Amino acid sequence: MAPLTMLRTGESGVPTDLVTEYYAQRNTPGGLLIAEATNISPTLRVPRIVYPRADRGLEEGHAHGARAGGGDLRAAVACGRDGHTLNQPNGEQPVSSSTIALVDPYSVPRALETHENPGIVADYKRAAEYAIAADFGGVELHGANGYLLEQFLQCKQPHRRVWRQHWEPRQTDTRGGRSCAVQFGLKVAIRMSPYGNTFGCTDSTPEETYSYLIKKLSPFDLA
């Protein structure tokens, strides 16, 4: 079962009893369930794993599934320009690889600065720690569907020149995955969509882009 974004957690971002019941019903023997596209920082009104208690409801659903013989992962996502100032702390701009917005009603993002990358990596690592501490089978880092990681990967998503000139900067945000992989090994996976076109993210040379990325990630023995 692929990750969903059901917006059922309310203002707190903490999964409710309804979420617990939903996943408990669907976690079946021999199955693999990837639970909730879950933000690594307070950027949208979806479940958030920026503090341990946010895993409580999904952990209970996971426990029901584990008793039934199923397994599940937690999907960790940073939305980037897909977010909106109305859903940001203090009305801040969402960050992206450029200042190019999606069509209305999306907000104009601000371009992520190079010195901010370690903070993104730390957010992914902390999210993985909380999910694995909640006894999930692992974490899937969401690098597809037009979210922040893909905004840096896809060459047709307009970038500032510093990101366009070199391959390595285009891959910068995958360091969150590599950092998680070093600590958690097979408990970490990365979701990619080379031929996707969600939220304006497409790539004219997907084979080249993703072959390079896979080559860089393969030594880390991801799930």
The b-or-e profile of 40-75 (16+ CB within 10 A means b, else e) is bbebbbbbbbbeeebbebbbbbbbbbeeeebbbbbb
Residue 77 dihedral angles phi and psi, to the nearest 5°: -135, 145
Residue 84 dihedral angles phi and psi, to the nearest 5°: -145, 145
CA distance 142 to 9: 20
Q: Do strands 32-39 and 188-192 pair parallel, antiparallel, or not at all (unpaired)?
A: unpaired
CA distance 49 to 69: 25
Considering 22, 23, 124, 147, which one is annotated as catalytic? 147
Q: Is 20 within 8 Å of 61 (Cβ atoms)?
A: yes
What is the DSSP secondary structure assignment for residue 48, as one 8-state letter?
B
Could you confirm whether 22 is annotated as catalytic?
Answer: no
Catalytic residue ranges: 147
